[in-house]
Chain A
Amino acid sequence: MSAHDHAGHDHAHGGAAHGSLKGYLTGFFLSVILTAIPFWMVMTGAVDNKQATAIIIMAFAAVQIVVHMVFFLHMNPASEGGWSMLALIFTVILVVIVLSGSLWVMYHLNANMMPGLHEMREMP
């Protein structure tokens, strides 16, 4: 094992980063803002276009998840010698495959398998 690995290991053992009061408060205020804006947008219908609203609130959710990861879960590339970050990246890839794959396949299945009126009439 190299000296570098040892250094990373010692860091993980010797009191993991718990964050500071400032970090927690920053995360909290960012989360409040990032939560309040999507709720306000949907409850008041501030943006007329539903598609645009959906995209904007999804972007807010993505940013808020990153905020929580950094300020509350104290994720950083160095924690646990990089293994937590690696596990996180792997999980994110799987989640993206599962979600986009399911939605994509099932959408097309619905579109192709639904017998239209025209086809129904030709059925014996």
Chain B
Amino acid sequence: MASTAITAGAEPVFHLEEEHAHAEGGSTMLGFWLYLMSDCLIFAMLFAAYGVLGGNYAAGPAPKDLFDLGLVAVNTTMLLLSSITYGFAMLTMDKGRVAATQGWLAVTMLFGLAFLSIELYEFAHLIHEGATPQRSAFLSSFFTLVGTHGLHVTFGIVWMVTLMVQVARHGLIEANRRRLMCLSMFWHFLDVVWIGVFTFVYLMGMLR
């Protein structure tokens, strides 16, 4: 450690001299990535719980009796389309075109809402048939896993609306670009989790 010499008339220096300045928000991307990784662990726990409990039907309905793969395919398409439209929003953001960015964000939000509506319709249908979370360990873990993902999508949409208002008020300033990039990572991450959900829960469930 360099010793701190205080000489008359000079400000004392308490940091290492080679320490360089950090731009504001320079570490946000890495920090947000670390958050996503911790979120990934939450989903890993829920997947593990579903993997362990997914076969305990308690003489209730099994995946084959409940799931409609056509509906899940439509749902997957919605989320995939919302991923590519968010990508277009990022590309127009790079070019600084505010209106186009807002447009693509709105399209992304509509696809996200379509995804949520289909999922809620599916849940309502299941509960109407008596396949409630209380019915069996399989259904408890199913609703927890898929519901947590749906909750993430809901908050992603809330975040998207917030950012659209921010961009409308302040334009594509540096801070808004950073926020949009964080949401981009969040949104694409949710799509990655959905790959796990439709493969392990829906497709493998139908094979059982």
Contact = CB atoms under 8 A, between A and B. Distances in A.
Task: Answer yes or no: do A and B interact.
Answer: yes
B195 A88 contact: no
A65 to B, nearest CB: 6
Contact of B91 (A21, A69, A103): A21
Given A16-B181, A53-B207, A73-B189, A65 B195 contact: yes
Contacts, number: 122
Contact of B40 (A12, A80, A91): A91
Contacts of A24: 84, 87-88, 91
Contacts of A1: 18, 20
Nearest to B87: A24
Interface residues of A, number: 48
Nearest to A99: B48
Interface in B89-146: 90-91, 94
B48 A42 contact: no
Contact of B80 (A32, A38, A60, A95): A32
A57 B87 contact: no
A13 interface: yes
B173 interface: no
A99 B47 contact: yes
A65 B192 contact: yes
B165 interface: no
Contacts of A73: 185, 188-189, 192
Given A39-B203, A68-B188, A94-B44, A87 B196 contact: no
B58 interface: no
Interface of A: 1, 6, 9, 12-13, 16, 18-21, 24-25, 27-28, 31-32, 35, 38-39, 42-43, 50, 53-54, 57-58, 60-61, 64-65, 68-69, 72-73, 80, 83-84, 87-88, 90-91, 94-95, 98-99, 102-103, 106
Given A43-B69, A103-B48, 13 more contacts: A19-B90, A21-B88, A31-B83, A35-B80, A61-B200, A65-B192, A68-B188, A72-B188, A84-B33, A90-B37, A95-B44, A98-B44, A99-B51
